[in-house]
Structure 1
Amino acid sequence: MSGTGGAARWFSANPDKAWVEKFFLFYSPVWMASMAMMMVTGWDKTWGDGALLWHGVLTAAPVLLGPALLSRRFGTGSWADSYWLKANLYLFVFGFFGNYFGSEYFFDVLGMVYVYPNATTTLDAAIVGKGGQTVPVIMYLYTHVYFMTYHAIANIVLRRLRTSGIPAAGLLFPVFVFVIGYAWAWAETKAMANPMMATSFYYQKMDLMLAYGSAIYATYFIASFPIYYFIDESRDRRWSLTQAVAGGLSASMLTFFMLDAAAHWVGSL
């Protein structure tokens, strides 16, 4: 499982993947600052639906447009064979699932509530869930940048493990997947459950969320990190665009099963 030989490294031996991951890391503080500004200023309450959608688009667009514009200088192949496009397709598919279907579990099982009366453009499942809550489209856009950062950093940590030469790296890989996934789930839960967000986002069942919510949210990343990691990890085994989409769909279905299992578990407590 240490796999690739040579010295331990943080970034991929595939240069087309390495520069994109560095771009994702570079952009991460930018979107975080943008979201922090929204909370501090209260723009999420004062802006109308159109302004919120534009903010979402402008926050998410650099994840796609930045690498597209820089690919001529740093890329090593055509757009159709580029890692940045495959990564964006995967994250779009997985993030769409997370909002369209996955949010329903957090609404019904953990009492998650969105309070965005000014975000009138919504999209969520028609049958899954009890239908009492809707998902603003801006959440799909914000999720894209959240997941970009979570997956990029998971890649870097998992790669360091796999190239470390540790004999037990194969056994430790799933352990690291769980730890990193839980850490990101806990960090986002902690960031969202703060007084500045209380009028926009809260949990009716905060006791369940604090006790089990991070572990339930971590199912997203336990399913996704191992699949996403291997996209174009080797220069000699590059994925097609179709494989990238299929990978996102596979991670989505795995998450669906684990969310439903978690709902049974929490419901029996």
Structure 2
Amino acid sequence: MGKTKPQNGHKPDSSRGLKNIESFWLAPSPSKRWGELFFLAYSPVWIILCLGIIVPLGLYERFGKLEYFVLGLIVALPCFLLPLIIVSKEDKSKPWYSRYWAKANVWIGIFGFVGNYFWTHYFYTVLGATYTFPSWRLNNVPLTTYFLTHAYFLFYHMISNMTLRRLRHAIHNIPSRVLRLFIQSAWIFILSYLTAFMEALTIANFPYYQIVNREVFYKVGSLFYAMYFLVSFPMFSRVDEMLSNEWTISQTSIDSLGAAMLVTILLDLWRILIGPIVTMPNTQTYKQCLAYGLPWLA
């Protein structure tokens, strides 16, 4: 990490959050910097719990609806509760709703809820993937996934924030705005696809996430899933990125809903123009998924 220095007579573009920053990776806002580092520091805790202990040891075989629900709470609640208890010096002078961690939770919370409530049905009907573990459900989607998604997405978006910020520092002296935009877009696409692919791969050993054709799901389905992040990574990165423009909770909520609507349009265009990536099996599980699906997916 190094200090920003003007090169070749060019000054960093403050409109992209490059002014008065202490690191090429970290946010210029002290509150956002602390929030990003907090979420990154917490992520290994739930990752080890879920993917390092519960799945490898097969502890999920003993889980019922209550145990899965409690697991979701254990993973998600610290994202909200710990920053209330561990207040950074950067945030002590701010009300809780003005702190970055609160806005990040709101943005991801809304985006993740829409993703589970609506977009999971595209996994059922387009990608041929279903959840079969015991769980209380909302719109035929396990409640546990609503909670786990929150922690997953916070982790993904902190990585995206930092890498996008570092990339912008690396290319800010390139004169062509079009070329800078192309480079950033290419990175967002690569990161989105890798994120989707790696998530699918890491839960491959969990038998209660059934997939019709794993090879097609990993390669093509990951592209479908990546559309979530093609929209969310650049949009989420804008929250409190400029020191001179701190967002409100209301602005954060509206932005997240806008991102969710754009993803919904992209997913439905895939459904209409491309259709399912596999032939759906005629099983009771998939019939149930269709029966409890969304009206426009029927």
TM-score by length of 1: 0.89
Give the corresponding residue for 1:230: 238
Residue of structure 1 aligned with 2:61, choices 45, 49, 52: 45
- The match for 2:195 is 184
Q: Percent identity?
A: 32
The residue aligned with 2:43 is 28
State the distance in 2 between where 1:82 and 1:210 align: 37
Q: Kindly provide the amino acid, as one letter, of the partner of residue 206 in structure 1.
A: R
Is the 8 Å Cα contact of residues 127 and 276 (structure 2) preserved in structure 1? no
Matches of 1:166 and 1:256, distance apart in 2? 35
Q: What secondary structure, in the 3-state scheme, does the structure 2 residue paired with 1:234 have? A: coil
Between the aligned partners of 2:274 and 2:216, the Cα distance in structure 1 is: 8
For 1:93, give the aligned amino acid: I
Rounded to whole Å, the distance in 2 between the matches of 1:80 and 1:145 is 19
User: Does residue 107 of structure 1 match 2:124?
Assistant: yes
Query: Once the 2 structures are TM-superposed, how far is the Cα of residue 52 of structure 1 from its aligned partner?
Result: 1.7
SS in 2 for 1:202: strand
Higher helix proportion: 1
Alignment correspondent of 1:71: 87
Q: Are residue 19 (structure 1) and residue 38 (structure 2) matched?
A: no
1:59 match: 75
Deviation of 1:64 (Å): 1.1
CA distance in 2, matches of 1:40, 1:268: 31
| Residue of structure 2 equivalent to 1:131 | none
1:135 aligns with 2:135: no
1:146 aligns to 2:152 (yes or no): yes
Stretch moving more, 61-70 or 82-91? 61-70
Please state how far the C-alpha of 1:206 moved relative to its aligned partner.
2.9
Spell out, residue by residue over 1:85-122, the C-alpha distance to the aligned partner (whole angstroms, 9 max, x if none): 11000111000011100000010011102111x32x10
CA distance, structure 2, for counterparts of residue 187 and residue 265 of structure 1:
26
CA distance in 1, matches of 2:90, 2:82: 11
Instruction: Give the stretch that moved more between structures: 148-157 or 179-188.
Output: 179-188
SS of equivalent to 1:41: coil
1:97 to 114, 126, 136: 114
Unaligned runs of 5+ in 2: 1-11, 278-298
- Larger Cα-atom Rg: 2
Name the residue aligned to 1:258: 266
1:257 deviates by: 0.8
Q: Distance in 1 between matches of 2:235 and 2:276?
A: 31
Deviates more, 1:234-243 or 1:65-74: 65-74
Provide the C-alpha distance between the structure 1 equivalents of 2:153 and 2:173, rounded to a whole number of angstroms. 28
Structure 1 counterpart of 2:123, one-letter code: F
Q: Which runs of 5+ in 1 are unaligned?
A: 125-133
Distance in 2 separating the partners of 1:205 and 1:189: 12
Secondary structure of the equivalent of 1:237? coil
